[in-house]
Structure 1
Amino acid sequence: MTTKTSEATDRHGRYTLGIVDNDPLVAEAPRSSFERFHAPLEVIWALTDPEDALVHCLHAKGRPDVLLTDIDMPRLSGLGLFHELQTRKLPITVIGISAFPNIAEEPGLVILPKESAVEEIVQLAGMLRRDDDLTRWFPTPTKPNPLSPSELHALTHYSEGLTTTAIAHTMHVSESSMKTFAKRAYEKLDAHSRTEAIAICVRNGWI
């Protein structure tokens, strides 16, 4: 579905993105990826109810420039949502995602695999919107990781909710060594807490 740039696009060339998938984990997963890579598609909402997504699309304040929608959903499928938006001639570029991308052939709708990378989605949006900046976009390389493997493994396990004792057992080291790994990691990241250190690692794509 090719449209002209909508009013939701800001003066810096960024576009707004809405995501809808009846699986809450799948609906939220792309948000962190788009934010981590500073993609030119800004996620303004990620919803699990396609009918709720339609309501957002109908109102100018919540209307995204690009909609990433799961195809196979109960009550209102991604195809049904696409048809509703087409009927109303809303200025939204719709991209479908599915575990089975060949599930349907619909004129004006491209369906990508659910595991598609951020740049594939952004570049497809660029082609559909005829925006060369989007079409040529690639993620900005992340900052070099200053942590040693042991320090990174420690923070990764902490991010999974494991205790210091459990992590020490998993890594076959003493608890005092674990605390040393964590302390060194905080110092290298200039973090003041475990939560802050983990957030820095996630933001930079290290864990």
Structure 2
Amino acid sequence: MFIYRNAGGAAGGGASQQQPPTPPAPTGEGEQPPAPQGGTPAQFTAEQQAVVDRIIADRLERAKQGWQADQAAKAAADSDAAEAKRLADEKKFEELARRREAEAADLRAEMAQMKRDQLRRDVAQAAGIPQLWQRLQGETADELAEDAKALAVMMQPSGGQGQPRSATKPTPGAQTAGADDFVKQAIERQNKRATENDPFAAMMKR
């Protein structure tokens, strides 16, 4: 007994049970096909990697330039602040120097006037006219003595009665007592104005 089989049917049945794999869809030029699910990520081509590297390098360079600009701005601000402080301190120092110099000049003028007044008192007392010492004129002791002599003659009684008043020698203590007191008071006032932070305090205390 012969059994005939349909070869075409058998072939058709096998084809329905096992089909060949579908090839991947074509991609554009230069594009990397997507990685299969569950597999390793797709790799860039050399051209794509170069583009990525260039983008990263550009971003890093911009970030570096921005940081450098910030540092330069900060340094400039710090320098400006330091310069402003230096100028302010210098201005304060100059103002303090001018004030101290003015005070020293006033003190020297007071001492010079005190010495001149004391000299006028001494000359007037020696000429016998101590009450008229403020009327004496002259810059030197000789000029004051000449003026005191002339003033003493004018103060003599009319008619030639009597002789010119005898000159009296000034008391040594009276000559220097007033001057010493004035100098001490002036120095004490100056020392009180000086402070520990005053760079001119040591100079003014001399």
TM-score (norm 1): 0.19
Q: Which has the higher strand share?
A: 1
Q: Which has the higher contact order (CA 8 A, sep 6+)?
A: 1
TM-score (norm 2): 0.19
